A and B are shown apart, each in its own frame.
Chain A
Amino acid sequence: MLEAAARNLLDPAILFFVVGLLAGLVRSNLEIPQQVTKFLSLYLLMALGLKGGATMAVQGVTVGSLVAILAAVLMAFIVPILTFLVLRRLVDPFNAAAIAGTYGSVSAVTFIAGQQFLTKNDIAFGGHMSAAMVFMESPAIIMAVMLVSFLRRSRNEGAEGGNEASSQGEAVSALPSMREVLHEAFTDGGHLLLIASLCVGYIAGESGEAIMKPFVGDLFKGILAFFLLEMGLLVGRQFGESEFRLEPALTVFALVAPVVYAVLALGLARALSLSRGDAILLATLSASASYIVVPAILRYAVPEARPGIYFTMALGLTFPFNIIAGIPLYHALSGWVWP
């Protein structure tokens, strides 16, 4: 286990993440223009989709791949439910629902880091896991928004006095409808690009992958390293410059919950006889939290929740934990079940 963890830490991409983290913490003036970051994230999603689609075309869509996708969807429902049940005792229900949405969804960069880890350790995984990731993105958002609608109804029913009821009614009218929220979720640029790239990769197949290799293959590792440098910088700045501080219980949750969800995912993967590589990726996805797509939707759809809480938990704690320690840990845990 220690050998794999050390190999992970010595990966240039991970080392650049640490460099960015330190630069952010010491308040360095290192800057990467936002448009460059946007390009890097779109590039990574495109490369991920193309590679996943091409692998699926080569391997074919089998019962095994459908079972893996089904397991992913199941985890996408289990994680937000468990998160909400645990956190509603610690924070107000709107924040609990928002955090549930964030943790129920996934981080594509964590998934890519998981794939890189497996490749380095010669563990095979299916291209269908990229499709599984796509299927894991949305259920949690829908669940969080439904939960919040229910919470609002309960709050409004509980409100006493004519003035208060009228004020609440007026307030609710400013909130987006479920249809508007779903439109935001499904038309997100990154989400659309990933799905489109999966389809293109699948249609173009092996020959298409060969054509695109110089762009999405040879450059991939370097661009991932550059993106992780930026992410490290972002995480470092959140801690180095922000006055916002999380409650200790939420800090513990952000570091412990990923391991619990990964263990659940590994158990489910074992019960469904998934391969070890697919199981580790399922665990990585279940342990990850969205820090781009879902927080953006939550700001719009759940204004009652504090963005500082769910964004800081997902980006500042869970993301670096998974990148640095989580993925090697899930690999080690899987070794007990898949000898």
Chain B
Amino acid sequence: MRPLETKKLLTLIAPIELQRMLIDTLKRREIGGYTLVPCTGAGTTGLRSGMLGVDSNVLIYVIMSEQRLQRVLEDIDTLMRSGYRVKAIVQDIAIMPRKIAAEGAQNAE
């Protein structure tokens, strides 16, 4: 079996209107892979029922290295300081990689 890799999972919860802005932020850090899930919920600014397009939230899942995560978190921090209502959750995860590292390369690590 291929060995598990240790990575970071960044979960962003944001109003759907900010989806494009957040994806652009990730792209600027050369992150092109993510998973989007429309979601609903409630908070201090009221109910996000998901009944209208503009009344929905989005969950964005991104898996990345710790080094890259730090740069992305700095960008998210800048957005939050501007007033954007974004929640960022970071978790340590182990992932089964799609590509198996070459035997020699693995030994070098």
User: Are the CB atoms of A242 and B46 closer together than 8 Å?
Assistant: yes
Within 8 A of A (CB), among B3-21: 15, 17-18, 21
> CB-defined interface of A302-327 with B at 8 Å, one 1/0 digit per residue?
01111110011000000000000000
| Distance of A228 Cα from B47 Cα, bound (Å) | 19
User: Are the CB atoms of B56 and A244 closer together than 8 Å?
Assistant: no
> Is there a chain A Cβ closer than 8 Å to B34's Cβ?
no
CB distance from B19 to the nearest CB of A (A): 10
> Is there a chain A Cβ closer than 8 Å to B91's Cβ?
no
**Total of A-B residue pairs, C-beta within 8 Å:** 86
Using Cβ atoms and an 8 Å threshold, which residues of chain B touch A305?
83
Using Cβ atoms and an 8 Å threshold, which residues of chain B touch A242?
42, 46-47
> Is there a chain B Cβ closer than 8 Å to A172's Cβ?
yes
User: Are the CB atoms of B45 and A172 closer together than 8 Å?
Assistant: no
Within 8 A of A (CB), among B33-89: 38, 42, 44-47, 49-56, 75, 78-79, 81-85
CB distance from A186 to the nearest CB of B (A): 15
Count how many chain B residues have C-beta atoms less than 8 Å from C-beta atoms of the other chain. 26
> Is there a chain B Cβ closer than 8 Å to A174's Cβ?
yes
Which listed residue (B46, B52, B84) contacts A292, Cβ 8 A? B52
Which listed residue (B15, B38, B46) contacts A299, Cβ 8 A? B15
A-B contacts besides A34-B50, A300-B18, 7 pairs, CB < 8 Å: A32-B51, A34-B51, A292-B52, A300-B21, A303-B84, A304-B83, A307-B45
**15 A-B interface contacts by CB (under 8 A):** A41-B52, A171-B82, A171-B83, A174-B79, A174-B81, A174-B82, A174-B84, A234-B52, A234-B55, A244-B44, A244-B45, A295-B54, A299-B18, A303-B82, A303-B85
Seen from chain A, the residues whose Cβ lies within 8 Å of a Cβ on chain B are 32, 34, 37-38, 41, 167, 170-176, 230, 233-234, 237-238, 241-244, 292, 295-297, 299-300, 303-308, 311-312
